[in-house]
Amino acid sequence: MPLPASAGRVVGRAGAALIAIALTGAAITGCAAAGTDGENGAQGTVALLLPDAKTARYETFDRPFFEQRIAQLGDYKVLYTNADQDAAKQQQQAESALAAGAGVLVLDPVDVGAAVTIVAAANAQDVPVVSYDRLVAGGDIAYYVSFDNEKVGQLQASAFVDALTERGQLAGGILMVNGSPTDSNATSFAEGAHGVIDAAGLRILAEYATPDWSPDKAQEWVTGQISQYGPDIVGVYAANDGTASGAVSALKAANVTPWPVVTGQDAELSAIQRILTGDQHMTVYKAIKPQAELAAEVAVALLHGEEVTAPLEIDGTPTTLLDPVAVTVDDILSTVVADGFWTIADICTPAYRAACTAAGLPAE
């Protein structure tokens, strides 16, 4: 199942999802035809192992998009598990999936280092592994699909610096609330962000790697920093919307004024609403549907022993990286609403109608 040459890195803005679907669509026919087996369609079992439920995207988008695409491709069974941010639990879930006859593992690892053991166990049974969203730190990976994670950090930091520049606060101090130390993507986000933040000469007061991407731990840490640095804090770089929510809660509890610039990632509904009210400056929208659908298509191809290729490789692994998009209050309509990720009705609930009107979001 070779992908089109342009599918290795999908670029664009609000149309990223549409472009990605069009690109992967060229590969669908081959997979479906190869997997057809009588009137009931293709058969086989694919395991989808996701890392946590604290990050809203996994249960809200990744799982349903993946399962829907698998169902479209044939009569396949999906063994779904969520590890609740527990690497040992994910190991057990993987072992159970292999024992239950899973022919492919689609794995988003809790701990990219510990997950090498899962890959080794699958390899020993000739079961291919698709590394989903986070790249496992070793082993024979059949395919990797994610986003350009360093660019995510660059987008966050660029919007962050622009906002602080507009406010005339570049001389102030900032906090950096990074992601989980066991998530390789968090390292990429931080590297991308540092490249922009360091070049701008921003003064980093303190920096934190948030265990398990926990909003509660982010809130606790930011609360401590507010006690120490107080009015010196002009901005909080938060690596995702969950940690941003923790930061915002800490800032509100301390009645911090003027309100600092806060970043995020994942375009969670609550984050879009915080952007409307001014509590969060920006988020990063990632078109999860084409990511999940491509993973499903690759899994089906691997289930039938087909070779999967991509023009981009990371450590010898065929790789597709989709393009992330920065979202501020000015971009909500042209990104998450235009792609159907969230509707106006989702966003503009009664509590947010005034903010929606002020931002120019049309009533439904």
- State residue 54's pLDDT score: 83
Q: Mean of the pLDDT values across residues 99-109?
A: 97
In-domain check, residue 330: no
- State residue 319's pLDDT score: 97
Q: Are residues 242 and 168 in the same domain?
A: yes
In-domain check, residue 272: no
Per residue in 13-36, pLDDT (tens digit) is 333 333 333 344 334 334 433 333
- State residue 338's pLDDT score: 93
22 or 202: which carries more pLDDT confidence? 202
Question: Which pLDDT band holds residue 364 (cuts at 50, 70, 90)?
Answer: low
Give the domain extent around 240. 149-265
Q: Tokens for 346? A: 């989702």
Terminal CA-CA length for the chain? 42
Per residue in 67-102, pLDDT (tens digit) is 999 999 999 999 999 999 999 999 999 999 999 999
Question: Which segment of 12-26, 120-134, 182-196 scores lowest on mean pLDDT?
Answer: 12-26
Q: Are residues 170 and 252 in the same domain?
A: yes
Q: Are residues 32 and 140 in the same domain?
A: yes
Kind and range of the H or E run holding 45: strand 43-50
Q: Mean of the pLDDT values across residues 129-135?
A: 97
Q: Are residues 160 and 119 in the same domain?
A: no
Question: How far is residue 62's CA from residue 109's CA, in Å, rounded to a whole number?
Answer: 14
Q: Mean of the pLDDT values across residues 324-351?
A: 95
Domain count across the chain = 2
Q: Are residues 216 and 187 in the same domain?
A: yes
Per residue in 34-74, pLDDT (tens digit) is 333 433 345 799 999 999 988 889 999 999 999 999 999 99
Residues in the chain: 364
Q: Are residues 141 and 32 in the same domain?
A: yes
Phi and psi, residue 329, nearest 5°? -60, -25
Statement: residue 3 has pLDDT above 60: no
- State residue 26's pLDDT score: 33
DSSP for residue 335: I
Q: Mean of the pLDDT values across residues 120-140?
A: 96
- State residue 362's pLDDT score: 86
Mean of pLDDT over the chain: 89
Q: Are residues 44 and 126 in the same domain?
A: yes
- State residue 137's pLDDT score: 92
Quick one: what percent of the chain has pLDDT higher than 90?
84
In-domain check, residue 354: no
Question: How far is residue 3's CA from residue 243's CA, in Å, rounded to a whole number?
Answer: 35
Q: Mean of the pLDDT values across residues 184-189?
A: 94
In-domain check, residue 111: yes
Q: Are residues 109 and 158 in the same domain?
A: no
CATH number (domain holding residue 210): 3.40.50.2300
Q: Are residues 176 and 140 in the same domain?
A: no
Statement: residue 256 has pLDDT above 60: yes
In-domain check, residue 359: no
- State residue 43's pLDDT score: 75
With contact defined as beta carbons under 8 Å apart, do 101 and 43 qualify? no
Residues 6+ apart with CB under 8 A from 143: 128, 130, 131, 295, 298, 302, 308, 310, 317, 318, 319, 320
With contact defined as beta carbons under 8 Å apart, do 124 and 299 qualify? no
Q: Are residues 134 and 252 in the same domain?
A: no
Question: Which pLDDT band holds residue 241 (cuts at 50, 70, 90)?
Answer: very high
- State residue 311's pLDDT score: 81
The separation between CA 228 and the C-alpha centre of its own chain, rounded to angstroms, equals 32
Q: Are residues 120 and 153 in the same domain?
A: no
In-domain check, residue 274: no
Q: Which amino acid is at 351?
A: A
Statement: residue 307 has pLDDT above 70: yes
- State residue 56's pLDDT score: 85
Residues 6+ apart with CB under 8 A from 90: 49, 51, 81, 83, 109, 110, 115, 118
Q: Are residues 115 and 95 in the same domain?
A: yes
In-domain check, residue 251: yes
3-state secondary structure of 28: helix
In-domain check, residue 162: yes
- State residue 213's pLDDT score: 95
